[in-house]
Structure 1
Amino acid sequence: MLDSYTNDINRTCLPAGLVCKFPANNLQLMVQSGAKGSTVNTMQISCLLGQIELEGKRPPVMISGKSLPSFPAFEFTPRAGGFIDGRFMTGIQPQEFFFHCMAGREGLIDTAVKTSRSGYLQRCLIKHLEGLHVGYDMTVRNSDKSVVQFRYGEDGMDISRAQFFNEKQLQFLSENTKALAQEDILEKLKLGEDQEEIKKYCKEIDEWKEKNGNPLEKTRRKPFMLFSQYVKGKVGSTKKFDKPKIIKLWYEMDNEIRESFEKQCVRCSDPVDSVYQPDSHFGSINERLEKMIEDFQPRRKKKVKKRVPQYHETQDNAVHVRSRGASSQSGEPSTQMTLNTFHFAGRGEMNVTLGIPRLREILMMASKNIKTPSMEIPFLNVPNLEKKRTP
């Protein structure tokens, strides 16, 4: 119930309610530039600390019915239940300070306990994955050379280096092409022996897409499917469509007729990055990235008058250069999760089932009944989705 009030206070205060606004406000400058700190830190300093939580609950009530001796018995005000309406800038009251210390102590204990657990979890993972390696042919193989993945992470990219490859960041890449892709290096890459071949191959795929549509979005055209549609057109939509009879007709049909249907279904060529290895061939990027850039093109024409220098009609220099240097991995970040609960002492967002306990539950306990089952349900591609959704 108090969450809505906390959010309203934060919305009012940040950033419009500040006396000294961004970029003159040094704290806001530090957080928004990404140097250090987060919005949670600015909220706790400028707005309020909000509801304190211990082990996912409000501070417990003692046997006397009080949460602290200074409150009346069975007091039901938010403040008695660990809600802090004070902020660090102007200071918090003694009772609030005590609640905050309780949450801070919990964070310290968590840090001390989780360090050993995260270390062991890391060891377990690395021990089981130590035989895996990315080969020169970009496949992930085991110690006995059997293929685990044909492409690391299905796209061959390092997660830590591929953070800019999404729709929101394409504008940034577009505006900083000169900084990200040096012109002299680009010219050398464009003059490579394989460039004409890649352009020709890309053109073939584009021509196929113009005729048959994008293979990532449309249903595939198959000879049998075309034959079924042809028969259905002849029979008429009102009559019953007998599937077994159609299958029988397909197998009894002359080869010449069957071939005429097969000719209408020309197979799309393999993706560029599967024929030309991305790390050694400039201009070879995966289909997802290519589609993302294609979708971005019209927006860029409207927003930016000066066109960014381009290598291929639908491909951006910055994306190409960045994608070439993204193909490895690191396993250390799980150790850093230990500090999360310490940094945000008592914050409601830091749940018990997040971070290391969640990883242990999934990977080590392998429990059938997980504590907080979650599900991601993607929305359909609806224009102005955020404006339309109900509050």
Structure 2
Amino acid sequence: AKGFVANSFYSGLSATEFFFHTMGGREGLVDTAVKTADTGYMARRLSKGLEDLCVQYDNTVQDAGGGIVQFLYGDDGLDPAIMEGKAGVPLNFDRLFMKVKATCGAEEDEYLSPSDISNIVQSLLLKHNGTLDGICSESFRKSLSSFLGDQAKRLECLMKLIDGVEVENFENIKNVEGLTGISKNTEKIAQKVSGITEKQLEITSRLDIFCSSSASVQWVFLKTCLDRYVWKRIEPGTAIGAIGAQSIGEPGTQMTLKTFHFAGVASMNITQGVPRIKEIINGAKRISTPIITVELEHNSNVNAARIIKGRIQKTVLGQVAKSIKIVMTSRSASVKVTLDMKTIREAQLSLDANIVRELILETPKIKRKLQRINVLEDGKLEVFPGGDRNKLHFELHSLKNMLPAVVVKGIKTVERVVIAQKKLDDAENDQGGPKYNMFVEGTGLQAVMGTEGVDGRKTKSNHIIEVQETLGIEAARKCIIDEIKGTMESHGMSIDIRHMMLLADVMTSRGVVLGITRFGIQKMDKSVLMLASFEKTSDHLFNASVKGKDDKIEGVSECIIMGIPVAIGTGVLKIQQR
């Protein structure tokens, strides 16, 4: 490989090694220099675009002018800084459950059955939701209920495992004597490991911790969960715009500039790293590697996938013709096209001479130069040029050059299609062999989704503007979040999803995708001083003076310029003197 040195430090470099070594070194240096400039500018643009955003006292996220960007920050109103684990979940239930079991002993209490557990959880959550501070998000409620449900199932499985007895229903285990197979001992072991009592779940109990403080401590699983959840909510006045911009901009400085190969797909290059993040944030109309990921309706059949590939991939006449020749006789001159029927059959393209004739006639550039097209026999066509006899020779040659480029099958904007075998979990793998999907290089999302045999609902594109034009602004927002997340994860960086949601909402809240560039920020109705402090200072100031614009001085930049306290954090509240 380039730049690889096989010799040791002792023996030194050979001539070729030295040559490649210097090339590799210089490439690294140039790369680093270019990258720092790019990421630095990107971070500045982000922080300028998001600086005004702040959580208000009604939990909405608003910009300086009072325009609502999100109704609830990050869909759950939690503070990303105090989440547990890399996934950004509010609580690590497993750890908390172990803690409660360890600190709040069961003593002689009855253990609960699965249905009892779910009843208690539902009633407590309903009660909690009625209070002012207790509005937890739907996802948290679901995850809490499902965690306790799993816990109950685990207890059931343990009992079966220890005694090797099939138990149909846990409810009847309570009267243990009635069951012949299960001993009292078994029940005890299983419940010690995985059971939970009512006291541990809900009712507060007193404990002296380490006997150092004689305070009564309430160790209770559900109550602890709900208390901690409420504590993790984001505080009104937090400058989440600035925090979000830094959280996305900072990892960018550690990313490499290189483009990586798409994993598992033959030679399909996909832009990654800093250039990709740059494309997303700029809201670029044209991106360097647009790829549509296609899910198939029948994804286990590779032949079906090949047929659909034929429907999507652009096939030109030059690929399916044996020969395209100029034929001159004493009476006439024409271009003769012979189709390669064997190739057409192998590629499963449903084509014949008549279809090709129609397609040639539909191509506007060629149609102007034609007199007529004759179909000679299966797979042969004769194309007669029209126009002036004097120019006949030129017309024939231009026809011969233009015919190979006529699209006979597929979508014009698609460059190529790759069929890939999906990487599956073991559970999915057992269910009947490998599954396939397709990667389409090029644009034309609507045409691809409308192709027969493609599951349009699961088909994705990485071209945000195209997604907006085809599926609307909500889909574009989701696309921005997924793309930033995917790019960051491929470099081994995990950013809290709430920051990416905020960025996506800022870019899409006006109904079109606005990039965070000087053009996009201008369309976001920012104030004159803010725009002047960003880029093109003189233009904005001249413009404002000509039009007599006024500036309310609400945002961060304007306040700093004028020396006024910023309306973020403690500055959200104004104190009035009587």
Query: TM range, normalised to the smaller chain?
Result: 0.3 to 0.5
Higher strand share: 2
TM-score w.r.t. the length of structure 2 is 0.29
Quick check: which has more Rg, 1 or 2? 2
Q: Higher relative contact order by CA 8 Å / sep ≥ 6: 1 or 2? A: 1
**TM-score if structure 1 supplies the norm length?**
0.41
